[in-house]
Chains A and B, each alone.
Chain A
Amino acid sequence: MFDSVTSVAMKSALDALSLRQRVIADNIANVNTPGFLAGRVQFEDALANAVRTGGDGGIEATIERSLEPTRENGNNVNLDTETLSNIDANLRYQVATRSIDGGFTAIRTAIRSA
C-alpha cells in the first residue's frame, strides 16, 4: 500500500519539487554573481513517463544549466522568472503534500471503519 505507484510517484514529485526550490534559492542567491548560469530542474516528463509505462514511479530529477543569453557579467539569472518559478514550485509542493495527506486520510478511515 505504501509502495504503490501513487505513493512512490508522489514522493518522487515531492523530492523533485524540493530540489527545484533549492535550485531556485541558489539562483536567486547568485543573482549578482559574475559568470553564474541559472539552474533548471526537469522532472515532469520523466515522472509522467515512469507512471505511464507502468514503472514504480521512482525517478531522479536532474539539474541543467540554462543556456539563455547572459548579461555583461556572464550571469543569466532572471529574477522575474525565478520568483514566478519559486511561487509555482511552492504551490505545487503544497498540492503534493495535500495529495499524500489525502491518501493517508483514506487509509486511516479504512482502519477506523474496521
Chain B
Amino acid sequence: MTFDAIGIASTGMTVHRKWLDAVSDNLANVNNASSTDGAAFQARYVVATAMSYGEPAGAQVAGIELGSAEGRLVHEPDHPLADEEGYVRYPDVDMSSQMTQLIMAQRGYQASAAVVDRARESYQSALQIGRN
C-alpha cells in the first residue's frame, strides 16, 4: 500500500478534527449537573497513534478514553437535582486544559492542511514535465 503526501496529510487532519470534536463536546458539557447517585459527564480524550506499513502512513485515532465519572461534588441546595445534603455532581472538566487542547488541535489541523497545499504544488510541477 502506498500513501501519497496528500493522503497522509488528510489522516493528520482527521485526527485533529476528531480531537476538536472531543474538546467541543467536553466544553459543551462542562456545566452538566447530575444527581449524586448518577455518574457525571465523562470527558472524552482522543488517543492518537502513528500508522505505518513499512512506509509512513500518517496518524489515526486508536480510541477514545473517558475521564473520571466521579466528577466533583458542589454544594447547591437550591438545585433541583440536589441530594438531601444539598450536593450535585459536576463533570471534572478542566476548562483551561480544554482551551489549551483546543488551540493545539486547531494548530495541528492547520499544519496538515498546509502540507496538502504544498504537496499539490509538487504534483502540479510533475504534471508540467514534457508539456513545452
Q: Is the interface of B mostly helix, strand, loop or mixed?
A: helix
Question: What is the number of residues of chain B that contact chain A, defined by CB distance less than 8 Å?
Answer: 39
* Surface stretch bound by A, among B8-16, B75-83, B85-93: B8-16
Structural contact, A34 and B56, CB atoms closer than 8 A: no
Pick out which of these stretches binds chain A: B21-29, B47-55, B66-74.
B47-55
Q: Provided the pairs A29-B15, A79-B111, A97-B125 are in contact, do residues A90 and B132 lie with their beta carbons within 8 angstroms?
A: no
Task: Please give the residue numbers on chain B whose beta carbons come within 8 Å of chain A beta carbons, in ascending order.
Answer: 3-6, 8-9, 11-13, 15-16, 19, 48-50, 55-59, 104-105, 107-108, 111-112, 114-115, 118-119, 121-122, 125-126, 128-132
Write the residues of chain A forming the contact surface with B, with a CB cutoff of 8 angstroms.
14, 18, 21-26, 28-34, 36, 39, 63, 79, 82-83, 86-87, 89-90, 93-94, 97-98, 100-101, 104-105
